[in-house]
Amino acid sequence: MSEAVEKARARHAVLREVIEEHSRLYYVKAEPVISDLEFDALLRELEELEERFPALRTPDSPTQRVGGAPIEGFETVRHRVPMLSIDNTYNADELREFDARVRRGLEGDAPAYVVELKLDGVAMSLRYVEGVLDRAVTRGDGVQGDDVTQNVRTIRSVPLRLRGEAPPRLEVRGEVYMTVRELERLNRIREDQGEAPYRNPRNTTAGTLKLKDPRQVAQRRLAICLYDLVPDAGVPPMFHHQALERLQAFGFPVNPHYERCTSIDEVIYICHQWRTKRHDLDYEIDGMVVKVDSPEHRARLGVTAKSPRWVIAYKFPAEVARTRLKAIQVQVGKSGAITPVAEMEPVKLAGTVVRRASLYNFEDLEKRDIRVGDTVEVQKAGEIIPQVLRHVPELRDPASLPFEIPAVCPACGAEVHKDPDGAFLRCLNLACPAQVKERLEHFASRKAMDIEGLGPAVVDQLFSKGLVKDPVDLYELEAAQLAALERMGEKSAANLVAALEASKARPLDRLLFGLNIRHVGRSTAEALAAAFGTMEALMAATTGQLMEVPDVGEVVAESIHDFFATPANRGLVARLAAHGLRMDAARPEANGGARPLAGKTFVVTGKLQRGSRDDIHARIKALGGKATSSISRKTDYLVAGENAGSKLAKAEELGVTVLTEEAFFAMIEDLE
């Protein structure tokens, strides 16, 4: 072997180990110690090395998470040890019956239990040969499943090689799932692209694992937690709590919320606690799993035809509420989409009071025959938007009539059109007052130009007085005109003028989002601003150049191109520029790229005086920190506004540092 090859091999081994360790710290432990930039630099060095010495590019290299070409189909493979299902219980009594059965089976010996969260995802079995990930198979019918190795490799927290000394063969099992935050991120992109949102994380996870293109899977950030170590040569049966520790030692993510109990009362207490605590998690659980800890006890208890006698699931009651549908409102969106919205008698559901819920579209409404006056069942899907599940036929008023689908736009009377793909109705009148007002409200909204004081009531008055019809008109308003509006007064008028002035400094992504370009939502706007830097460069881009931006496909690129090719839109942008609006992107990182908060995790809660939660999150991220929504031992700081509530109590319980809003700003303003 030449000296160069030898050196490359040695460097490759060091780099790979360092990258694997940082990946684990980032994705498994959520405790990164280096910045993303530093990590990317290491990965790039590894890639360059493999480019020069292709023999180093083995399948377990960190550069090889996402394979090349799409796959044809999934091979069906048999599980060496079947993946059994587990029995369900729904209340404390049934848990006590389980405990009694276990005690009888153990002839009076006292069992210890491990209680875990029941993650609501897709069960998966992973096989490692000589420490290297070899195969990932879905549960399927328990006897055989689909080989989805190429897709599972893209999950960042799945180790491609085990840490430490590996047995010749290892099989582990766990759950692949998606966080609620990730579902929301995907749905923002879908919304940008005019596609219907995914309804819940579990189905989205299942659908993602079935995609034939691993590159697409990699873009949806799935997660995994392991909960089972299958005994094998070199892996003797062990206590379950030890297996969970062993899994962690191998480098696998294990859900941290497990507890060992020595009585069924403790088990019941923990199960009940999680019925409410589940709402603090950023992923869905549908219950708890209770497992006998001792391998010897498990062996004595054995299995029935269907499931082991040493494990039971405790399922949470479904969070569905019944209420009366008072009205079906017909809404006209900023792009003319006409959609039904349910207005209901307020009802408590999963910790909040729900008054309005999504009915998707008229086709769906007609299919499910939902009528005003019906008693309906509502559910929170993925803890996000409440949805109307169904009407309760037994409780329907026999005199009720089907809802009449509008033939004309309720705002302007124009004839409605069906979208080519069928599901949505649309008003095509660009001058439709509902659309014009929606577009102005959108322009002024918090996530776009953030013009405080320019809400629906003010927009409505300005529009009906003929003072505004497009964003440029807003910047031509005078304080006296505003002060003359109802419920306004001089002080509020002056504030609004100041807010309009301040909005001129918003960076390019906010302006782009505010302009209401079809298929360009927040995330696409951010990606465009980051890629082009200035409005001028973006306006000059060809569709080909636009398609190089992440998440921008042909349809989106054409929409952007058409928007800027339209003279009226070019005129609008020129007039906005003439009013002094900023036309370039925000600097990518505060403080010249330094990341003083790298590795620090923040949770922001309560009512804040000095900025919205989104703004604070953005500032934390700009300084390299991480902002999450639920508190755990890994949280470094809780920023607590007024009425911080349960998160504050939890932070105190866990010993997380609590910052008042002032203390937080004092801290970051020093760093920015």
List, by residue number, the catalytic residues: 118
CB of 485: closest distance to ligand IVH in angstroms? 56
Q: How many Cβ atoms from other residues are within 10 Å of residue 316's Cβ?
A: 18
Q: From 278, 17, 18, 311, select the one nearest 173 (Cα to Cα).
A: 311
Residue 126 interacting with ligand IVH (CB under 6 A): no
- The residue written with tokens 């069942």 in the block is 377
CB of 285: closest distance to ligand IVH in angstroms? 8
Of the two residues 88 and 534, which places its CB atom closer to ligand IVH in the complex?
Answer: 88
Footprint (CB under 6 A) of ligand IVH, residues 134-153 = 139
> Which of 35, 58, 64, 85 is the binder for ligand IVH (CB under 6 A)?
85
CB of 139: closest distance to ligand IVH in angstroms? 6
> Which of 60, 99, 116, 438 is the binder for ligand IVH (CB under 6 A)?
116
Site string for ligand IVH, 241-280 (x = CB under 6 A): ----------------------------------------
Residue span binding ligand IVH (CB under 6 A) among the ranges 37-45, 114-122, 147-155, 342-350 = 114-122
Chain-centre distance of CA 632, in angstroms?
18
Of the two residues 203 and 543, which places its CB atom closer to ligand IVH in the complex?
Answer: 203
CB of 544: closest distance to ligand IVH in angstroms? 44
Of the two residues 8 and 170, which places its CB atom closer to ligand IVH in the complex?
Answer: 170
Of the two residues 218 and 290, which places its CB atom closer to ligand IVH in the complex?
Answer: 290
Binding residues for ligand IVH, total number by CB under 6 A: 15
Of the two residues 374 and 383, which places its CB atom closer to ligand IVH in the complex?
Answer: 383
Footprint (CB under 6 A) of ligand IVH, residues 277-296 = 289
Count of CA atoms in the C-beta half-sphere (13 A) of 421: 6
Of the two residues 139 and 297, which places its CB atom closer to ligand IVH in the complex?
Answer: 139
Contact 301, 309 (CB under 8 A): yes
Of the two residues 20 and 120, which places its CB atom closer to ligand IVH in the complex?
Answer: 120
Q: What's the 3-state SS for 432-470?
A: CHHHHHHHHHHHHCCCCCCCCCCCHHHHHHHHHCCCCCC
Residue span binding ligand IVH (CB under 6 A) among the ranges 79-87, 364-372, 549-557, 582-590 = 79-87
Instruction: Tell me how many degrees the CA angle 220-226-227 measures, rounded to the nearest 5.
Output: 145
Rounded CA separation 78/146 (Å): 9
Of the two residues 254 and 546, which places its CB atom closer to ligand IVH in the complex?
Answer: 254
Q: Which residue is nearest to ligand IVH (CB)?
A: 123
Helices (H) and strands (E) in the chain, counts: 25, 22
> Which of 194, 295, 308, 410 is the binder for ligand IVH (CB under 6 A)?
308
314: left (phi over 0), alpha (psi -120 to 50) or beta: beta
> Which of 12, 22, 118, 442 is the binder for ligand IVH (CB under 6 A)?
118
Rounded CA separation 322/345 (Å): 10
> Which of 123, 152, 162, 427 is the binder for ligand IVH (CB under 6 A)?
123
181 CB-near residues (< 8 Å, 6+ apart)? 282, 629
Residue span binding ligand IVH (CB under 6 A) among the ranges 229-237, 305-313, 330-338, 428-436 = 305-313
Residue span binding ligand IVH (CB under 6 A) among the ranges 33-41, 118-126, 425-433, 644-652 = 118-126
Residue span binding ligand IVH (CB under 6 A) among the ranges 6-14, 55-63, 81-89, 130-138 = 81-89
Q: Which two tokens mark 473?
A: 């008109």
Of the two residues 314 and 513, which places its CB atom closer to ligand IVH in the complex?
Answer: 314
Footprint (CB under 6 A) of ligand IVH, residues 20-49 = none
Rounded CA separation 444/623 (Å): 27
Where do the H-state alpha helices sit in 547-645? 554-565, 567-578, 613-622
- The residue written with tokens 């040969």 in the block is 129
CB of 4: closest distance to ligand IVH in angstroms? 49
Residue 220 interacting with ligand IVH (CB under 6 A): no
Rounded CA separation 177/657 (Å): 30
Rounded CA separation 244/174 (Å): 11
Site string for ligand IVH, 168-207 (x = CB under 6 A): -------x--------------------------------
Cα torsion 452, 453, 456, 459 to 10°: value is -110
Q: How many Cβ atoms from other residues are within 10 Å of residue 162's Cβ?
A: 21
Q: How many Cβ atoms from other residues are within 10 Å of residue 482's Cβ?
A: 24
Q: Which two tokens mark 450?
A: 């953030």
Q: How many Cβ atoms from other residues are within 10 Å of residue 478's Cβ?
A: 11
Footprint (CB under 6 A) of ligand IVH, residues 594-653 = none
538-562 exposure pattern, b = at least 16 Cβ within 10 A, e = fewer: bbebeeebbbebebbeeebbbbbbe
DSSP state of 55: G
Q: From 120, 135, 138, select the one nearest 177 (Cα to Cα).
A: 120
Q: From 283, 261, 280, 281, select the one nearest 271 (Cα to Cα).
A: 261
Residue span binding ligand IVH (CB under 6 A) among the ranges 113-121, 143-151, 259-267, 349-357 = 113-121
Q: From 500, 490, 498, 517, select the one nearest 450 (Cα to Cα).
A: 500
Residue 227 interacting with ligand IVH (CB under 6 A): yes
Of the two residues 289 and 620, which places its CB atom closer to ligand IVH in the complex?
Answer: 289
Q: Residues, the chain, total?
A: 672
Residue span binding ligand IVH (CB under 6 A) among the ranges 111-119, 322-330, 376-384, 511-519 = 111-119
Of the two residues 280 and 377, which places its CB atom closer to ligand IVH in the complex?
Answer: 280
Residue span binding ligand IVH (CB under 6 A) among the ranges 117-125, 202-210, 445-453, 622-630 = 117-125
CB of 300: closest distance to ligand IVH in angstroms? 16
Binding site for ligand IVH (CB under 6 A): 84-86, 116, 118-119, 123, 139, 175, 227-228, 289, 308, 311, 313
